Structure 1
């Protein structure tokens, strides 16, 4: 008997499969998000680097490509977060996801508007906090994951969180196939979230040259560095990243100041909004002035690689799982393959148990 996993998040999100494509800046555009949704997973549109008008257009273009539910990744500390929430409510977006936890009043406002709220966390105590605040589910990313990440591996972090909260838990960090999905379910998770694996699909907007850099990587070709914005991030190792780590404080601050201006041009944000946002980051996340200023580095350096196709001049956020990926399927092919692999693993385990 073939068993295909159907979990709580399938019903919560209104999707066919317990697979989530994360909201990656400059990667998770309308095409990738819609392709994931049409394949039966939950696609999440990245919005942190989009102006309000660009976000509205991206939602419109996603809805033109799919009738399936999808999500939008928001920054809880964005100056115009209220307007963005109103937009998601008006457009009947299914899921609001967050990299940094939203406060209880924001969670309540989104839920009152009909959205499912899904923060990402990297520690048990953070999962307990957002669950108490009313989050509907939580993405738990272990140290293997790309971008901002913590020190605890997925296999140790995931069971801690599953045992601590009653809401659905989605495992992230190190997943790319059906075996991983079954492993996550065995730990008690309700599904998996993947970033690097979806970046490396034919539906991803990333250039072929950048995808080739990812495909050529091994599991040891990533590095966790705080040189970008003062907070640990996992990226592909490169000469450029090594130089960032060697740069002095004055050079880092000068580069960050330039990035602030570039980020302002990219998003249309006002300097007063950026200043207010920096103060909010310092208060809510305990960042120093230097770290708050350096935070402008990440989007601009990601843009150099992901949008401009210049990996030698930017950074490439990645999970260690890049070293296990060697092809570029469509989202439909990928999700179908994962579900078939998961079913085969479950069938094999059931057969062993019968013996």
Structure 2
């Protein structure tokens, strides 16, 4: 385990040693991965959207039993029980609250009153300006190269527009996997990088080994962005199932969608009323159509089939394009040590060019 080599606004804000964030991937970012990241000096983020309130509390407790290092929890700002989840973070003294969507100003204020760092994810400069004005401590952006829900703008263009728009720290995600990427992000002016697929492919990740091998065998052109799974652009590994979904009509997807909606309701411990409330919130916050809302429940259960049950033929595997250049399964400590050491060396080398 290496000492701190790089000090940035992210390390100063959150108290982690290294400016590397393990993003909150549903079904993937559990206690093992998060505690492994935190012990190695990075910022591990628990993914709570696929957990019930009780499961989230158990996961937080488990991480705290494994390490005393700072870590965070990713929350759905539009979830009906978001205030209750924030209460858990406050009660258990969690260091960071990250959000997939912009949380309401009063939620940001409540968390900050208790010393919790608030880091929403944004996809455009105007959204970064908005959450910064509401008191967000930092923002994370993800370029189109990233896995899961993603946008069309690459990181190299999205990052500078966000940096020009706000004065708070910006964490860059989408396309990062090594020290050169971290060095490049810091040179742009970012405070650190977020990595998802790279952390999924570590020894500390609980994704089934056979599924990890499926990722490792993928090339740079083996991901696809589709809106057919849940109505929003989603980058994932190509597969026969994904190809079939891409070709299918809306009518053919009705029954599987309804089945997965009910399955997700049971898994998440939601009532029909909570499901309806969440749906209305998503429609208001994201402007989704009723059809897109119906498809939205597909994502958690299709991801679970692939990432937890280990059956890519029945599920999907979210993935960033970096999957095509990853060929090993290091521990979180080995990965972070390597990334930070290489980044420091790259920046030092670049600095010599100014002599």
Q: TM-score, normalised by structure 1?
A: 0.98
Q: After the TM superposition, which residues 230-269 of structure 1 pair with which residues of structure 2 at under 5 Å, given as runs?
A: 230-269=231-270
Q: Aligned partners of 1:246 and 1:65: how far apart in 2?
A: 45
Shift of 1:298: 0.2
Shift of 1:113: 2.0
- The farther-off stretch of 345-354 and 176-185 is 345-354
Is the Cα contact below 8 Å between 1:27 and 1:199 reproduced in 2?
Answer: yes
Is the Cα contact below 8 Å between 1:124 and 1:164 reproduced in 2?
Answer: yes
Shift of 1:3: 9.5
Q: Where does residue 5 of structure 1 map in the other structure?
A: 6
Q: Where does residue 65 of structure 1 map in the other structure?
A: 66
Q: Aligned partners of 1:5 and 1:57: how far apart in 2?
A: 33
Is the Cα contact below 8 Å between 2:17 and 2:42 reproduced in 1?
Answer: yes
Matched, 1:147 2:184: no
1:312 is paired with a residue of what secondary structure?
coil
1:311 is paired with a residue of what secondary structure?
coil
Shift of 1:352: 2.6
Shift of 1:171: 0.5
Q: Aligned partners of 2:243 and 2:149: how far apart in 1?
A: 17
Q: After the TM superposition, which residues 275-290 of structure 1 pair with which residues of structure 2 at under 5 Å, given as runs?
A: 275-290=276-291
Shift of 1:127: 1.1
Shift of 1:4: 2.6
Is the Cα contact below 8 Å between 1:3 and 1:346 reproduced in 2?
Answer: no
Q: Where does residue 36 of structure 2 map in the other structure?
A: 35
Cα-to-partner distance string for 1:10-41 (whole Å, 9 max, x where unaligned)? 01111000000000000000010000000000
Shift of 1:347: 2.0
Q: Aligned partners of 1:140 and 1:239: how far apart in 2?
A: 31
Q: Where does residue 332 of structure 2 map in the other structure?
A: 331
Q: Aligned partners of 1:210 and 1:172: how far apart in 2?
A: 23
1:235 is paired with a residue of what secondary structure?
strand
Q: Where does residue 305 of structure 1 map in the other structure?
A: 306
Is the Cα contact below 8 Å between 1:15 and 1:42 reproduced in 2?
Answer: yes
Q: Aligned partners of 2:65 and 2:306: how far apart in 1?
A: 28
Cα-to-partner distance string for 1:73-130 (whole Å, 9 max, x where unaligned)? 0011111111111110010000000111111111111111221110111111111111
1:353 is paired with a residue of what secondary structure?
coil
Shift of 1:50: 0.4
Is the Cα contact below 8 Å between 1:4 and 1:342 reproduced in 2?
Answer: no
Q: Where does residue 208 of structure 1 map in the other structure?
A: 209
Cα-to-partner distance string for 1:238-277 (whole Å, 9 max, x where unaligned)? 1100111111112223222111100011111111110111
Q: Aligned partners of 2:348 and 2:114: how far apart in 1?
A: 41
Q: After the TM superposition, which residues 93-104 of structure 1 pair with which residues of structure 2 at under 5 Å, given as runs?
A: 93-104=94-105
Q: For the aligned residues, what is the CA RMSD?
A: 1.2
Q: Where does residue 293 of structure 1 map in the other structure?
A: 294
Cα-to-partner distance string for 1:181-226 (whole Å, 9 max, x where unaligned)? 0100111101000000000000000011110111111111000000
Q: Where does residue 48 of structure 2 map in the other structure?
A: 47
Moved over 3 A (4+): none
2:119 is paired with a residue of what secondary structure?
strand
Q: Aligned partners of 2:289 and 2:4: how far apart in 1?
A: 51
Q: Where does residue 183 of structure 1 map in the other structure?
A: 184
Q: Aligned partners of 1:140 and 1:79: how far apart in 2?
A: 24
Q: Aligned partners of 1:80 and 1:3: how far apart in 2?
A: 37
1:12 is paired with a residue of what secondary structure?
helix
Q: Work out the number of aligned pairs and report it.
A: 353
Shift of 1:299: 0.2
Q: Aligned partners of 1:102 and 1:3: how far apart in 2?
A: 32
Q: TM-score, normalised by structure 2?
A: 0.98
Q: Which runs of 5+ in 2 are unaligned?
A: none
Is the Cα contact below 8 Å between 1:253 and 1:290 reproduced in 2?
Answer: no
